[in-house]
Structure 1
């Protein structure tokens, strides 16, 4: 069996424990994965729990129950009410998953949703989110967020910043790095030999020749031309309002967008329950479901595991592709 996927539950007062249990039940062993978490947080979700001492025991335990590598938390998980004393354990579980994945004991990692305010209040968490913390642990300066779903992969070049800050943040260097990292990941992790990448404009109608802004002329087009000269298969800058209909999507393997909503509105419209957040540029595979802690429905039994299942499946597929690429 290939090395299993390590799943962290994220904030245990959210829907993470329920989703992990439902994912195990629905996957029926198709994806080998184990949970790093407190077994007590998983009790009461209708599936048997099988404690493991190390990731290599996952295969033996998987068909008998949900494999759990015990990571004790100081407080119980009360649905909808994050406990400040659990914050450090949430953070250390993520670090443990990174360590196991970088050492090859886990083939990839999938992360459940965290609650950033709870981590800041309870443990002084110094990072904007999961992605930045993972980059720190991996010693990587720049990573890229991809959202992947059936028939569409999108990458926002700028992410969690105010819209008014986008033009100043969007530099040639940032855009070039984003495209390069995306191209490399499509080859290595998705098995696409010659990736086709479509690049959006920033302004309506891609600036309409400068009439609606000059970012396309001064920043985006020069980057596209330079990278084309290196052999990358790029098109654009495209008007974003014509990039996401079915015929347009068939012409590229990933779309590079200029800001958060430009990328996330189409993916969440087309694949709201199946979208997966993928961090590109790390020395290991990391995916996560494309939703938050959902405190409002935690403990009700209504959480939909579709996105987590898609994240686990994609993590396993990407890890397998990466292994093939590593063998040459």
Structure 2
């Protein structure tokens, strides 16, 4: 085991108190193996975490701290920065309130600021919803937008990562009917660059091989099924190659993921949300991790939502959060400061 003083401090936001965040957080930190990889500190609410411990019949001690450097970081002790003061039984609520919405946004802001100040080495976020952000009167629709705004990141991307498949999305939460209109050569090359840099600097892959998916069936089949490949995607891939990147494509979406899973490529750049997430979740439904590329801080997250329908029932699976914590620690180990904005 590494000496504790060499381990990265990883901040973990509690997410929406009404969702499964508190439960999976307590469950994940009940794994002693995590304490051999990092020093986890909860950014959340002590009253809610106490509820989760009692509900799950866990006997962990809570160590409330004002600064991550004050943590004990010992198994069976939860080091916690007490950001909110929610004195209600969240198990009685079916959805977020104004109070819980404001609180979960405050956790995120605190976590970002700690990471920017280098007081934590990485940030892991438990799930939130757009509804909760709206109740909090937030101008943001989700984690990514808030992270990008507060860190002043101009170019960023969502990567879904597992040990078999990594996918990066060019467009994210827009209607399928609008995807083609939102695709540009510059937009695609930016995502390829972010993928290339992150695979090198965060995942320690010296020469990343990046597959770029086509948009249409059979990747357009010589423009018979659409011209996006010839007019937009192929020029972006050519630019990536000219810049020295090992980019391949546009490749037919019906075979590209099979090839990536079998080791042909290190990541797949996808044109729209479900193109990447359907194959990814088929393989990594329980252990997938969402990580944001292009930020000056390390950020990983669970690959699922708040799951209000099963919250506070004791049945939520912490696997994705466990993997997100491990990935944040791994990226912190590999991070090379001052390179390409990181």
- TM score, norm. by length of structure 2: 0.91
**Does residue 1:36 correspond to 2:49, yes or no?**
no
Q: Distance in 2 between matches of 1:15 and 1:141?
A: 31
The structural deviation recorded for 1:78 is: 1.2
Alignment of 1:186-225 (within 5 A): 186-225=199-238
Distance 1:118 1:75, change over 3 A: farther
Long gaps (5+) in structure 1: none
Q: Distance in 2 between matches of 1:130 and 1:50?
A: 27
- Is the contact between residue 40 and residue 73 of structure 2 (CA under 8 Å) also seen in structure 1? no
The structural deviation recorded for 1:124 is: 1.2
Distance 1:289 1:325, change over 3 A: same
Q: Secondary structure at the match of 1:35?
A: strand
Residue 11 of structure 2 corresponds to: 6
**Does residue 1:163 correspond to 2:176, yes or no?**
yes
Task: Point out 4+ residue stretches in structure 1 off by more than 3 angstroms.
Answer: 246-249, 323-326
Residue 62 of structure 1 corresponds to: 74
**Does residue 1:116 correspond to 2:130, yes or no?**
yes
Q: Secondary structure at the match of 2:282?
A: helix
Distance 1:242 1:280, change over 3 A: same
**Does residue 1:89 correspond to 2:103, yes or no?**
yes
- Is the contact between residue 188 and residue 325 of structure 1 (CA under 8 Å) also seen in structure 2? no
Render the CA deviation track for 1:177-213: whole Å, top value 9, x for unaligned: 1111111111110111111000000000000000000
Distance 1:40 1:174, change over 3 A: same
- Is the contact between residue 242 and residue 248 of structure 1 (CA under 8 Å) also seen in structure 2? no
Q: Distance in 2 between matches of 1:74 and 1:3?
A: 29
Q: Distance in 1 between matches of 2:134 and 2:185?
A: 33
Q: Which of the numbers 265, 273, 284 marks the counterpart of 1:271?
A: 284
- Is the contact between residue 12 and residue 77 of structure 1 (CA under 8 Å) also seen in structure 2? no
**Does residue 1:53 correspond to 2:66, yes or no?**
yes
**Does residue 1:282 correspond to 2:295, yes or no?**
yes
Render the CA deviation track for 1:272-292: whole Å, top value 9, x for unaligned: 000000000000000000000
- Is the contact between residue 260 and residue 266 of structure 2 (CA under 8 Å) also seen in structure 1? no
- Is the contact between residue 25 and residue 47 of structure 1 (CA under 8 Å) also seen in structure 2? no
The structural deviation recorded for 1:75 is: 4.3
The structural deviation recorded for 1:249 is: 3.6
Distance 1:323 1:225, change over 3 A: closer
Q: Secondary structure at the match of 1:278?
A: strand
Q: Distance in 1 between matches of 2:149 and 2:88?
A: 29
- TM score, norm. by length of structure 1: 0.95
Q: Distance in 2 between matches of 1:47 and 1:84?
A: 31
- Is the contact between residue 52 and residue 61 of structure 1 (CA under 8 Å) also seen in structure 2? no
- Is the contact between residue 241 and residue 247 of structure 2 (CA under 8 Å) also seen in structure 1? yes
**Does residue 1:180 correspond to 2:193, yes or no?**
yes
- Is the contact between residue 15 and residue 297 of structure 1 (CA under 8 Å) also seen in structure 2? yes
Render the CA deviation track for 1:237-276: whole Å, top value 9, x for unaligned: 1101001225764111100011001100111001100000
Alignment of 1:288-307 (within 5 A): 288-307=301-320
Q: Which of the numbers 255, 269, 275 marks the counterpart of 1:242?
A: 255
How many residues of Structure 1 are paired with residues of Structure 2 in the alignment? 324
| Root-mean-square deviation (Å) | 1.6
Distance 1:246 1:177, change over 3 A: closer
Q: Which of the numbers 71, 80, 85 marks the counterpart of 1:73?
A: 85
Long gaps (5+) in structure 2: none
